C-alpha cells in the first residue's frame, strides 16, 4: 500500500481528492493537514472532516495548520468553491473536532514514525493547497524529511495561470512558501513532482456519471462525489467537470498515468503581473549560460506535462463509487 498524507484547503476539488484517497484500497491514508486557502481555515477543517465522515474514515487524523500565508495577505476562492468552500451542498457537516496537535506536529510525528519504525516505509506528501504548512515543516523540523519519499504538489503551471494570467492559485496565494519548499527540498534531497495547470483540467467526469453516482449511493461517498461534480457543472454551465486535485492523488497512485519532464523551476516573488508564477525553464541547457543574469538554474524537479485523462477520471469514478482500484 502507498503511505500517503494530504495537505488540503478543502475546496470542491480537494474534497474529490479526499474521497479518492480515503476509498482507494491501495492507499494507506496516514493523515490530513489543513491550511487556509480556498476557504478560511475553520471551514477547511470542517469540510475535511465532513468528507472523511462520509467515507467512514474517522480513523484518519486531521489537524489544523497555518491560517494565512507567510507574508502575503490571504485571498480565498469562495467565489469558485461556494460560501462554505465546498459547493454549498447542504450536506450534513461533521461535528467532530480535529486532532489536538498543530498540523506541523502531526506531520512531524507521522514522518518520524515512518522513518524510525521497525520496517521504515516513507510517506508521499501530496499538497493540494498553498504550501505554507510544508514550508514551515521543512524549516522547523527538517529531520522529518527522513520520512518523506516525495512531495507531489498540485500547483503552478508551465504555461498560463488561473488566479492571474501568470500564476496558479495555490502558488499565487503563498509564493514565498512555494519558494521555501523548492529550496528546502533541494537542500534535504527530497524528490519533487509538480502537478500543475498543464494537466489539472484534463481528467473530467460527465454530469451523466455524476447523476448515476448520486442515484446509486445518495448519502454515501459516491453521492457526495456526484454532487461535487454536479456543482461544478452548474457553476460553469458545462456537461462535464474536472476532478482537479484528485488528479494529483491519481498521479501519486498511478505514476504511469502522467508524463513528466525534469526541469528547473523558480518562483517569481515580485512583478506587478507575474508574482506567483512558476518559471519552468524549458530551454536547451547545453548552450552558453554566461549571458543569463540569473546564473545556473536550480536543481530540476519533475513537471507533469501530459496526463492520461480518461484513465484518471475512470479511476476516480470507480474508486469513489465502489471502493475498488
Q: Is the pLDDT reported for residue 287 higher than 60?
A: no
Task: Give the total number of structural domains in the chain.
Answer: 1
Cis peptide before 11 (omega within 30 of 0): yes
Give the range of the structural domain holding residue 69, as residue numbers without chain letter. Answer: 2-322
CA atoms within 13 A on the CB side of 22: 29
- Span 21-78, pLDDT tens digits: 999 999 999 999 999 999 999 999 999 999 999 999 999 999 999 999 999 888 888 8
CATH number, position 225? 3.90.245.10
Dist CA 21 CA 226 (whole Å):
16
Over range 126-149, report the average pLDDT.
97
List pLDDT tens digits, range 193-233: 999 999 999 999 999 999 999 999 999 999 999 999 999 99
The number of residues in the chain equals 325
**Adjacent-strand bridge partners of 260:** 304
pLDDT at 77: 80
> According to the model, what pLDDT value does residue 210 have?
97
- pLDDT value at position 255? 96
What beta strand segments (E) does the chain contain? 2-8, 27-34, 62-64, 123-127, 148-154, 192-195, 204-206, 240-242, 258-263, 265-267, 278-280, 301-307
Is the pLDDT confidence value at 295 over 80? no
Asked if the model's pLDDT at residue 285 lies above 70, the reply is: no
Q: What is the pTM for the complete model shown?
A: 0.95
pLDDT tens readout for residues 153-173: 999 999 989 999 999 999 999
> Cβ distance 303 to 260 under 8 Å?
yes
The fraction of the chain above a pLDDT of 90, given in percent, is 85
| pLDDT number for residue 262 | 95
Q: Element (H or E) spanning 316, and its range?
A: helix 309-322
Amino acid at each position: 500500500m502507498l503511505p500517503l498524507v494530504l495537505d488540503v484547503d478543502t475546496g470542491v476539488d480537494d474534497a474529490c481528492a479526499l474521497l479518492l484517497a480515503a476509498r482507494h484500497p491501495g492507499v494507506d491514508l496516514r493523515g490530513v493537514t489543513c491550511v487556509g486557502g480556498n476557504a478560511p481555515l475553520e471551514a477547511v477543517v470542517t469540510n475535511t472532516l465532513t468528507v472523511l465522515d462520509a467515507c467512514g474514515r474517522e480513523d484518519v487524523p486531521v489537524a489544523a495548520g497555518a491560517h494565512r500565508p507567510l507574508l502575503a495577505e490571504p485571498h480565498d476562492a469562495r467565489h469558485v468553491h461556494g460560501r462554505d468552500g465546498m459547493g454549498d451542498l447542504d450536506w450534513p457537516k461533521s461535528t467532530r473536532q480535529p486532532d489536538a496537535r498543530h498540523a506541523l506536529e502531526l506531520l512531524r510525528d507521522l514522518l518520524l514514525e515512518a522513518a524510525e519504525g521497525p520496517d521504515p516505509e516513507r510517506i508521499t506528501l501530496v499538497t493540494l493547497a498553498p504550501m505554507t504548512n510544508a514550508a514551515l515543516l521543512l524549516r522547523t523540523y527538517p529531520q522529518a524529511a527522513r520520512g518523506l519519499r516525495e512531495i507531489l504538489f498540485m500547483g503552478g503551471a508551465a504555461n498560463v495561470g488561473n488566479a492571474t494570467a501568470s500564476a496558479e492559485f495555490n502558488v499565487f496565494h503563498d509564493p514565498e512558501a512555494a519558494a521555501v519548499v523548492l529550496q528546502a527540498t533541494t537542500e534535504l534531497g527530497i524528490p519533487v513532482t509538480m502537478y500543475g495547470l498543464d494537466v489539472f483540467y484534463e481528467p473530467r467526469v460527465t454530469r451523466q456519471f455524476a447523476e448515476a453516482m448520486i442515484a446509486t449511493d445518495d448519502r454515501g461517498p459516491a453521492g457526495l462525489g456526484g454532487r461535487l461534480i454536479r456543482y461544478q457543472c452548474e457553476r460553469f454551465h458545462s456537461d462535464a467537470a474536472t476532478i482537479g486535485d484528485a488528479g494529483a492523488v491519481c498521479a501519486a497512485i498511478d505514476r504511469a498515468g502522467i508524463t513528466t519532464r525534469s526541469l528547473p523551476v523558480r518562483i517569481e516573488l515580485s512583478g506587478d503581473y507575474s508574482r506567483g508564477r512558476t518559471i519552468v525553464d524549458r530551454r536547451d541547457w547545453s548552450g552558453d549560460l554566461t549571458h543569463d543574469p540569473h546564473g545556473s538554474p536550480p536543481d530540476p524537479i519533475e513537471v507533469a506535462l501530459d496526463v492520461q485523462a480518461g484513465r484518471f477520471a475512470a479511476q476516480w469514478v470507480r474508486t469513489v463509487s465502489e471502493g475498488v482500484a
